[in-house]
Structure 1
Amino acid sequence: MKLHGYDFWEQVLKSPKYILAPMVDQSELPWRILSRRYGAQVTYTPMYNSAVFLIDETYRNKLFQTEDSDRPLVVQFCGNDPQTVLKAALMVENCCDAIDLNLGCPQNVAKRGKYGAFLDDWDVIFKIVRSLHDNLKSIPVTAKFRVFDCVEKTCKYAQMLEEAGAAVLTVHGRTREQKGPMSGLADWEKIAAIKKCVKVPVVANGNILCFKDIERCLRETKVDAVMSAEGNLHNPALFAPNCKLKVTDAISEYLELCHTFPTSMSFIRAHIFKMCYHILQFEKFLFLREIITEMKTLEDVEKLNETLKRALSENEEFVLEMTGDMQLSIMYCQARVRSSGESKDNYPKIRTNQFSREDRKRTLAQIQSEHGGCSLRQAKQLMRNPEKGFQKSNRPWLHCMCRQPKSKGCAHEMCKICCRKLCLEKKVGCEQHKMRKIEATRSEPSEIKLG
């Protein structure tokens, strides 16, 4: 029998308090397992586009991955068609504990696709949730959404989702306009109001930067659990009280899981950047950025971690003195403060000797000027090592006069565009580029005799 509401919450999810949020391309299997090690009790998959998931096997195989220990697990879909979302959900019904409908994605892709926070038709939303509720045989449907400017409208929206059949509601305390630099603070008062007006479990999302925030949110909103997204990305041990997780240790653990459960390098690079965020704010460690960007294999990640360990060890006194947004040494994983106003007072930033982006640009321009207009890549290398020399290529024939790669087999050792131009101007040919030699087709004009 399919359970609903608090029966589902207590018997299947085991009354969790700490939940890992669904994150596009970021809450993949290795990261979910790592987060579980540090206190996450329920995890969500990344958001899947139901229409693409339904028809594209490559998309499914690349993004949907789970294993026996990855439970309780909620699979999240976005979409605006009841039948499409249902068909996609039925494909994974036996691999998870619930299906979640994303009604909170604020990104432009959601605006173009008319889903997430931009699915404004309440009748369609009701039909999608009701369709999932009526047709999923063994698991319930849940919903995650953002608040509106008006608390009354927000409560009415939540009650509509409950009536449609949502077994659990997750509320992000920001509106869809609050994103990126305009994120600001999540409104916990609206979350508290929703908790009072519905009878199903409610999960709060927003303003969770450290474990004390979790405790404060549970106390002030009276919700059943707290969910974290960005805070967890910077610190996978966010749900573990009194745990200071070193960045290098977190990378090692995550890398070990990636060996066991292969994942995309783009996901891995994004995670490494997040965990190293506070370290990368200082000039001493700027060289790591390029290394992370150029990582292509797990072996490259291992080398990066060893380089990071050496850099932190060689600058131990500096590292211990410099702190991140959570006032911990930059050697530890810690959340990043993105919002303005009150949050900056709560978590002041102290970053002496920070190397600003403008300073970096000016320095690179100066290096290029001093070294005869060298490339930007060479300037970055010279910034790290002023003594570095650059040798000219031993294979100059690899490039055309326009600096584009030469075409293999070209009779004139040029790229396709330059070769064709030459053939037309000089009336010559090139077999590689299918240009025929232009032969004279007219004889010289004969002398005209008069009379």
Structure 2
Amino acid sequence: MPGDVERCLAETDVEAVMSAEGVLNNPRLFDGTNPLSFEAAIEYLEFADRYKAATSAIRAHLFHMCHYSFLEYDDLRERNATICSLREFYENVGELRKRCLFELRTAGMHCEKVDGFCWSDFVRRCCPNFESLHELVLSTPHFFCKPYVRKVPKSAVVWSTNETDNGIQNTSSISAYRQKRRAEIERMAEEAGVSKRQIRKREKRQRGRTKELNRKQTYPECKRCKHPAGMNCPWTMCRRCCKWTCTKRWRDGEGGQVQQTGATTTTTPDKYCKVHGFTPKMMEAKCNA
């Protein structure tokens, strides 16, 4: 959170401080700001596109930056776990941005210019008084980049003996997402008549199948024979049909430009297929053979 670096330097009396996981959750930690998570994610995707980052790295970084927002929107969280292209990551973050902005406007926080809406303004207007840093983190809305709050270790859990329907009640905090997921898995297990372990295994297998389907690249159909066509072929044809088309156009001189060089007249097609390697020089050699 803003001010953490300064407090760390003051408490430890060191010359510099490093951060690993903290920067993953808030890329602007050392700027002393908490940006909107979807804005940080969009900026990260621009760098990922420029430097050709691996899909696994993109997915992991988005999970860190948009962790709390993905807990609010399960469908976007599940989609981020299975998509495999940069375009799909852009679409998913764009949908998250749309929902968060709608949530902001619904709450009466008008921010037509997103850059002008910062975390410090929100704290000053909505929660100026807080007793601890932990309370501030939990009270900060999910659409801000903020630290990841880890579960309390079992050795530090305080058990209460308050009487409930089940006897002893555990007062350790469990995230709302985990509570909802447990209830959902219990319901699915009861309906299917299998154990909760089996339900989790089925979900894991389904995610794997979805990833494989997303990884499979679809190619356009060849206009001539319906086989997969080359991705950038000017005729949208497969290699065999493209070769036939280029040869025919070369012989017929279709769409060509007549060039007069001394006593020699040549006709060059205005379009040939570099994708399949059918260049004018190759076509001339083939037709004159």
Q: Which TM bucket (shorter chain)?
A: 0.3 to 0.5
Compare the two structures and name the one with the higher helix fraction: 2
Higher relative contact order (CA 8 A, sep 6+): 2
TM-score by length of 1: 0.31
TM-score by length of 2: 0.46
